């Protein structure tokens, strides 16, 4: 229903990205949706880099960019989030939308995001919730377990992708548990979150301090 689009807008608004000359890194960018939203809100004076470890996804992102009415100045680059090819303290904002849950080592990924972000800059995460608010649980369960995989399968022919979405969301920590994980990195001075649609997704915002121990 397009709610994810509104949530990406909200993430960019909440990120405190500089309006002029801001340096943004979007990780696990996929087809670049979040990177495009940063560009839409910050304009051509921002410097946006978007990385993914899947070249096919990046090709799609570049194609969408080429075919848009005006090409955006976004640099799409192949990179694994566990080993980002950027110097320490390069970016004002480092974001990841619906990607952290898919990484092999989320703590390492968070540490890498913090490493390449300037002290005082922000790491922004948009991620699904493990379970929705109490009274809505049965409805969400029915929707994610039975309805969404069927609709997704009819539209895309890829039922397993939608089953994976449900399973990986259920198994990945959200709310305070993800904040705890973020604090374990020792890289952030302040971590907070906003609840979206009764816990269907969350936006997390963390302010980067100097990593105390980045091993």
Ligand X SMILES: C[S@@+](CC[C@H](N)C(=O)[O-])C[C@H]1O[C@@H](n2cnc3c(N)ncnc32)[C@H](O)[C@@H]1O
Q: Contact, 7 vs 203, CB < 8 A?
A: yes
Q: Minimal distance in Å, beta carbon 105 to ligand X?
A: 8
Q: Please state, in angstroms and rounded to a whole number, the distance separating the CA atoms of residues 34 and 5.
A: 9
* Residue 29 in contact with ligand X, rule: CB under 6 A: yes
Q: Is 148 near ligand X (CB under 6 A)?
A: no
- Closest by CA position to 49, among listed 150, 119, 135, 117: 117
Q: Is 82 in the site for ligand X (CB under 6 A)?
A: yes
Site map (CB under 6 A) of ligand X, residues 180-209, x = contact = ------------------------------
Q: Which is nearer to ligand X, 136 or 165 (CB)?
A: 165
How far from 94 is each of 25, 50, 122, 176, 208, CA to CA, in Å? 5, 10, 6, 21, 10
Q: Is 57 in the site for ligand X (CB under 6 A)?
A: yes
Specify whether the CB–CB gap between 53 and 99 falls below 8 A: no
By CB under 6 A, residue 98 contacts ligand X? yes
Instruction: Tell me which residue has tokens 């022919």.
Output: 157
Contact status: 125 vs ligand X (CB under 6 A): no
- 28 scored as a contact of ligand X (CB under 6 A): yes
The 10 Å Cβ neighbour count of residue 109 is: 24
Size of the site for ligand X (CB under 6 A): 17
Among 12, 24, 52, 196, which residue sits at the site for ligand X (rule: CB under 6 A)? 52
Q: Which stretch binds ligand X (CB under 6 A): 62-70, 79-87, 156-164, 196-204?
A: 79-87
User: Rounded CA gap, 1 and 193, in Å?
Assistant: 23
Binding site for ligand X (CB under 6 A): 28-30, 33-34, 52-54, 57, 80-82, 97-99, 102-103
């Amino acid at each position: 229903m397009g709610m994810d689009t509104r949530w990406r807008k909200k993430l960019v608004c909440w990120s405190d990205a500089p309006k002029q000359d801001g340096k943004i890194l979007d990780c696990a960018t996929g087809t670049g949706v979040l990177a495009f939203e940063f560009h839409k809100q910050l304009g051509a004076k921002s410097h946006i880099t978007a990385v993914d470890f899947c070249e096919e996804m990046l090709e799609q992102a570049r194609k969408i960019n080429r075919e848009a009415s005006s090409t955006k100045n976004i640099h799409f680059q192949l990179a694994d989030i566990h080993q980002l090819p950027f110097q320490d303290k390069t970016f004002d904002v480092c974001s990841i939308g619906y990607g952290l849950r898919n990484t092999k080592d989320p703590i390492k990924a968070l540490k890498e995001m913090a490493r390449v972000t300037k002290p005082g800059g922000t790491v922004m995460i948009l991620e699904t919730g493990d379970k929705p608010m109490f009274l809505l649980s049965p409805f969400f369960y029915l929707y994610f377990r039975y309805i969404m995989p069927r609709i997704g399968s009819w539209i895309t022919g890829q039922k397993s992708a939608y089953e994976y979405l449900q399973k990986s969301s259920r198994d990945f920590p959200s709310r305070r548990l993800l904040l705890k994980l973020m604090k374990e990195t020792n890289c952030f001075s302040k971590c907070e979150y906003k609840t979206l649609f009764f816990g269907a997704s969350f936006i997390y915002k963390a302010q980067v301090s100097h990593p105390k121990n980045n091993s």
